[in-house]
Structure 1
Amino acid sequence: MVKKLSPKKVILISPSPVNEYAVNTPRKNAALYQYAHAVEQVSLETGSYFINLWTIMAAKEQSKVLKHDGVHFNEKGYRILSEAVITKINNISSTKGRKKIAK
Structure 2
Amino acid sequence: MRILLVEDNLALADGLAALLRQSGYAVDMVHDGASAEALAAAESFDLVILDLNLPQMDGLDVLRAMRSRKNAAAVMILTARGAPKSVSKGWIWGRTTI
Q: TM-score scaled to structure 1, two decimals?
A: 0.33
Structure with the larger strand share:
2
Structure with the larger helix share:
1
Higher gyration radius (CA): 1
Q: TM-score scaled to structure 2, two decimals?
A: 0.35
